[in-house]
Amino acid sequence: MPTDRNKVEQYSKAYERLKFYQDFMFRLYFKTEVVGLDKLPENATLIFAPNHQNALIDALAILTIKRKWQPVFLARADIFKKPLLSKILTFLKIMPVYRIRDGYENLSLNDSIFKKTMDVLRNKNGLVILPEGNHAGFKRLRQLKKGIARIAFQAEEASSESLNIHIVPVGLEYSNYVKYHSKLLIRIGDPFPISKYLSLYRENKAQAYNTLIDELRDRLKEEIINIDSEEYYNGYLSVMDIFTDRFIKEQKIKPTQNHKFIINKKLVTLLDETKAKNEKKYESFMSSVNRYAELLEKFHIPSGGIPLKAKKIFLLPLQLLLILLFSPLALYGFVNHAISILGAYFLSNKFEDVQFHSSVRHGIILILLPLSYLIQFLVVGFIFGFIWYAFLYLVTLPLSAIILYNWRETCFRVADTVNVVWLTLVQNKSIKEVNALNSEIYSWLKQRISIKNAARSKS
């Protein structure tokens, strides 16, 4: 394992092999869609600036953007304290940045880090800096740190303005931060050169930092769902759950993650503009949304369970039959993956910060899954004394994992449908209110969202 920081900018074959495996497993965890790759200029030095919502997963998301590239990341220095972890992070092409809180005496260590940063930039690896500094699990851009501006200007200055540095805003949009097979949209925004601020930098460094950060903030907000409202934050999310998927289906818009993002952005803008123009109408509408969300929570109804359609009821017998038929195979899949599954869930739950759960689960599965497959392969080969039985068994393992996942998802869908049907029978008045609110909210939004503009997302 190459752990020499002096070679961090150099291409590593060992890293390439690990990255191929990691990218494959990452895209199994998160169904990833990338838009905007064509925006990246070829003859420029790029510093990528993604928003930061989901701990280490955000860095891995950036890593998956392109197959054959090895960008270098800058991270806070306190995570490098343990020697073994420091070696692992260095192998993963992550370098520390020291802050005053890390000890004033350590600030001088940034000089050597800056020199390596220059090597990375000259080599055009791609440098990744998360400008929010730390993560937070909500859809809102927080205050940006000035470190990215300092590094960019100082690097351009040290190269006699020959690097042509561009900042690339990157939006990371998760459908769920933790759940396996949830969706991730990576939106690469328009890169912008820092050269237009160099004259200001020479005159007033502090003002140049602030000006660059202001532009980066504006560009990042274009690439993420940014909900400024704290009081109605969950209400905005409920509006998206009620409207977007149904609208896409009705309007026959291609159901890509990016198209869903575009419509969600329109919803946020609509609600913000409604508040600015008519706060009374806004408060009334959001009260209805909150009431709707309260009823869903009270009766444990999933957001996709309303309105209940006859098709879901008619499919119940078939789904129950499939659950019954595939139960033995699902059990086989669970038994053969119990160590990986239970290990990942058990260790991730040790972290109070939920945003670390997907990072830990992904990391544990990366290690345990191939290790358990190897051990099980050897054990089966030893027991039967015939290598082809072991290979046949090995082939069944990933297939059984797929069956287990789909069996589990079908069980959840059936349970949700049965719950709604039962509530319709025993809590008919409340269910009628839920359906009425759903219809009222959807109709209000549909009248105000431009179908023509939204339909442009088909192209």
pTM of the predicted structure, to 2 decimals: 0.92
Domain boundaries, the chain: 5-222, 233-299+441-458, 310-426
What is the pLDDT at residue 455? 44
CB atoms within 10 A of CB 62: 21
What is the pLDDT at residue 111? 81
Query: Contact at 8 Å (CB) between 206 and 87?
Result: no
What is the pLDDT at residue 1? 44
What is the pLDDT at residue 452? 56
Q: Which fold has domain 5-222?
A: Glycerol-3-phosphate (1)-acyltransferase (3.40.1130)
What is the pLDDT at residue 105? 67
What is the pLDDT at residue 197? 97
Supply φ then ψ for residue 71, to 5 degrees.
-65, 160
Say what angle helices 428-448 and 279-298 make with each other, to 10 degrees.
140
What tens-digit pLDDT sequence spans the chain (459 residues)? 445 577 788 888 989 999 999 999 999 999 999 999 999 998 899 999 999 999 889 999 999 999 889 999 998 787 787 787 788 788 888 888 887 677 766 777 788 888 889 999 999 989 999 999 888 999 999 999 999 999 999 999 999 999 999 999 999 999 999 999 999 999 999 999 999 999 999 999 999 999 999 999 999 999 999 999 999 999 999 999 999 999 999 999 999 999 999 999 999 999 999 999 999 999 999 999 999 999 999 988 887 777 777 777 888 999 999 999 999 999 999 999 999 999 999 999 999 999 999 999 999 999 999 999 999 999 999 998 888 899 999 999 999 999 999 999 999 999 988 988 888 888 888 888 999 999 999 999 999 987 554 444 443
Query: Contact at 8 Å (CB) between 292 and 434?
Result: yes
Query: Contact at 8 Å (CB) between 133 and 52?
Result: yes
Minimal CA–CA distance to 135: which of 214, 56, 63? Answer: 56
What is the pLDDT at residue 109? 76
Give whole-number Cα distances, 252 to 35, 245, 267, 270, 342, in Å.
21, 10, 18, 22, 40
Minimal CA–CA distance to 261: which of 27, 29, 36, 444? Answer: 36
The Cα–Cα gap between 397 and 377 comes to 10
